[in-house]
Chain A
Amino acid sequence: MNQREKEAYLREYSILKAQGKPFFPYAVAKDSLMGLLVVVVIIVLSLLFGAQLGPKASGATTTYVPRPDWYFFFLFQLLRVIHPPGFLGVATIGIPTLGMILLFLLPFYDRSAERRIERRPIAVATLVFVVVAMALLTLRGAAAGSPTALTISAPAAVKAAGKGAVSEFYAGRAASSDVGCGACHTIGTAGNPGPGPALTHVGSRIPLAGIERTLVNPTAPMPSFKGLPPKELTAIATFISDLK
């Protein structure tokens, strides 16, 4: 926008403003009506759906699904979709930060004087892209976060080791399902493809002791599971190390 365009805009605007109505009472009436509607909607939502309180946080739990409030689903899902190995930090914080910076600076790189949306094709394309992407990510995030039950069956090596090993495997599988490893890892066909790596064959890469160490002292964003009862921790570690 150059000086001439700025002045033209201000001139035009002062005419339109002069031809308008006073804020009080016309805009005030509309705003108040809208404010009333907002409060009514909140009251109705509260009456219909209320507020739940889950089980008390213990830090050592057997049932959890790390799910934020729905308006963060798109962010969570974004982190699941984009997880280049080695660049996790860039993806997790980098992409949202980049989005924020682009949003902040919008008035400084979109400097055209045109305001009519039908003559701003790039703005329309961006708007459509962002809205569709956020809607899809939110929907998929809503579908993905829920139960992370594992379905993988015992590999041949475990079966060969006898009945005891097989039942240990399934006990560990149940514990891992409950704790929700699938929220961040793929195990067999279940679980989310990130932010953690797939664990389907992790046992061939990391020994039992290494897995136990990971569970107690992991790299962020994986939470530590050192609060779990030792028996459960061992069951999970054994199950994971059986995945070869």
Chain B
Amino acid sequence: MSEAPPRPRRRRGPRLPKPPVPPAFLPRPLPPGTQRGAPRTALDHAAESGKVVVDWIDERTQLSGVTRWVMFRKVPRGTNWFYTLGSATMFAFLAQAVTGVFLAMYYRPDASGGAYESVRYISTSVFLGNFVRGMHKWGATVMVVLVFLHMARTFVWGAYKYPRELNWVIGVTLLILTMIMGFTGYLLPFDERSYWATIVGVNINGTGPVIGPYLSDFLRGGPEFNATTLSRFYAIHMLILPGAIAGLILAHLYLVTKLGTTAPPWVKATPEEPALGEETA
């Protein structure tokens, strides 16, 4: 006669991965005789207060589950440096956001000369102004290069296939928005080169079928290139697009976390190795 096996306890909610704490850092058993949880030294008190604060926040936000879900999930075997291209793109975007905010502190979207003067002021008079402008300009190039490389990586890996189709579509949107960022930002210094390149660009848009003329009217803020055009480009460049890109990056990363990144296609699972359930063992 044998005992019935204990019924497995039902868990509430999803199983969350545990942090990969090295054995040396795991809490040691307490010396015999000490009361559990009772702080003993000043250091214990200090450590305890940190925990209290974190617990207090977590009790109200329940963020620890999300954090564990994001941070302690596993990335598949074979993950290599090519997988850093996406986050590198994100870092380039963040760098653009930071340098862009500093430029916005001085820039004036005034087509009657104020825009040009404000950029010249940034370049010649503001402390490190030209350096920050240079970072913003070259950051755009770096971001465009990275976004193409990242796309090439996901293309070569076949990472756009089931179940990641939607993330590819979000990615293409991000690519296009990134290019439009470059296009709208180019006008802002309002020197000869940026002015004419933009006129030609907007006019080329206008030759497009069906929505072409409406699109270029919208960009110009009217049938002619005028003062509204610059403020319109400015609003698109520093409010609409960065907001849209940031939101789409969040959606992109949610799907990356939810679905996991692909394993390199040439890495095959070896059948004798343990399968499902391993991650929580």
B142 touching A38 by the CB < 8 A rule? yes
Cα(A123)–Cα(B135), bound, Å: 36
Cα(A137)–Cα(B209), bound, Å: 24
CB-CB contacts below 8 Å: B104-159 with A: 113, 116, 119-120, 123, 130-142, 144, 146, 152, 155-159
Q: Let me know if B77 is at the binding interface, CB within 8 A.
A: yes
Chain B residues with Cβ under 8 A from A24's Cβ? 19-20, 71-72
B138 touching A45 by the CB < 8 A rule? yes
Q: Let me know if B25 is at the binding interface, CB within 8 A.
A: no
B158 touching A21 by the CB < 8 A rule? no
Checking B136, B162, B175, B190 against A9 with a beta-carbon cut-off of 8 angstroms, the contacting residue is B162
Known: A17-B77, A20-B74, A70-B141. 10 other contacts (CB 8 A): A13-B262, A21-B75, A23-B71, A38-B142, A57-B196, A88-B207, A104-B172, A116-B265, A116-B266, A222-B203
Q: List 15 A-B contacts (CB under 8 A).
A: A14-B275, A15-B276, A16-B267, A20-B263, A42-B138, A46-B132, A59-B225, A63-B192, A70-B141, A92-B204, A93-B205, A114-B158, A116-B158, A220-B203, A220-B216
Once A20-B75, A220-B206 are accepted as A-B contacts, the answer to whether A127 and B95 lie under 8 Å apart by CB is: no
Cα(A181)–Cα(B12), bound, Å: 72
* Contact code string A110-142 (vs B, CB < 8 Å = 1, else 0): 110111110010010001000100000000000
* Interfacial residues, chain B to chain A (CB-CB below 8 A): 17, 19-20, 70-79, 81, 83-85, 87-88, 90-92, 95, 113, 116, 119-120, 123, 130-142, 144, 146, 152, 155-165, 168-169, 172, 175-176, 179, 182-183, 186, 189-197, 199-201, 203-209, 212, 216, 225, 260, 262-263, 265-269, 273-279
Cα(A39)–Cα(B277), bound, Å: 40
Which DSSP category, helix, strand, loop or mixed, fits chain B's interface? helix
B199 touching A27 by the CB < 8 A rule? no
Chain A residues with Cβ under 8 A from B142's Cβ? 38, 41-42, 45
A64 touching B193 by the CB < 8 A rule? yes
Q: Let me know if A54 is at the binding interface, CB within 8 A.
A: yes
Cα(A110)–Cα(B155), bound, Å: 11
Looking at the assembled complex, report how far the CB atom of A147 sits from the nearest CB atom of chain B, in whole angstroms. Answer: 13
- Which residue in chain B gives the minimum CB-CB distance to A54? B191
Once A23-B73, A38-B95, A50-B130 are accepted as A-B contacts, the answer to whether A94 and B208 lie under 8 Å apart by CB is: yes
Looking at the assembled complex, report how far the CB atom of B125 sits from the nearest CB atom of chain A, in whole angstroms. Answer: 13
Q: Let me know if A97 is at the binding interface, CB within 8 A.
A: yes
Q: Which of A28-36, A166-174, A232-240 contacts B (4 or more CB under 8 A)?
A: A28-36
A93 touching B207 by the CB < 8 A rule? yes
Once A6-B162, A100-B172 are accepted as A-B contacts, the answer to whether A64 and B192 lie under 8 Å apart by CB is: yes
Q: Let me know if A1 is at the binding interface, CB within 8 A.
A: yes
A107 touching B73 by the CB < 8 A rule? no
Checking A13, A18, A117 against B158 with a beta-carbon cut-off of 8 angstroms, the contacting residue is A117
B194 touching A107 by the CB < 8 A rule? no
Which DSSP category, helix, strand, loop or mixed, fits chain A's interface? helix
Cα(A99)–Cα(B168), bound, Å: 15
A56 touching B191 by the CB < 8 A rule? yes
A127 touching B155 by the CB < 8 A rule? yes
Looking at the assembled complex, report how far the CB atom of B56 sits from the nearest CB atom of chain A, in whole angstroms. Answer: 23
Interface residue count on the A side (C-beta < 8 Å): 89
A115 touching B81 by the CB < 8 A rule? no
CB-CB contacts below 8 Å: A193-240 with B: 195, 220-223
A53 touching B73 by the CB < 8 A rule? no
Checking B87, B140, B146, B161 against A115 with a beta-carbon cut-off of 8 angstroms, the contacting residue is B161
Looking at the assembled complex, report how far the CB atom of B78 sits from the nearest CB atom of chain A, in whole angstroms. Answer: 7
A221 touching B78 by the CB < 8 A rule? no
Checking A47, A56, A66 against B196 with a beta-carbon cut-off of 8 angstroms, the contacting residue is A66
B75 touching A27 by the CB < 8 A rule? yes
Checking B156, B216, B276 against A127 with a beta-carbon cut-off of 8 angstroms, the contacting residue is B156
A18 touching B279 by the CB < 8 A rule? yes
Cα(A43)–Cα(B28), bound, Å: 46
A64 touching B196 by the CB < 8 A rule? yes
Chain A residues with Cβ under 8 A from B274's Cβ? 18
Chain A residues with Cβ under 8 A from B201's Cβ? 68, 72
Cα(A50)–Cα(B124), bound, Å: 12
Looking at the assembled complex, report how far the CB atom of B176 sits from the nearest CB atom of chain A, in whole angstroms. Answer: 7
Cα(A31)–Cα(B268), bound, Å: 24
A69 touching B266 by the CB < 8 A rule? no
B191 touching A107 by the CB < 8 A rule? no
A22 touching B265 by the CB < 8 A rule? no
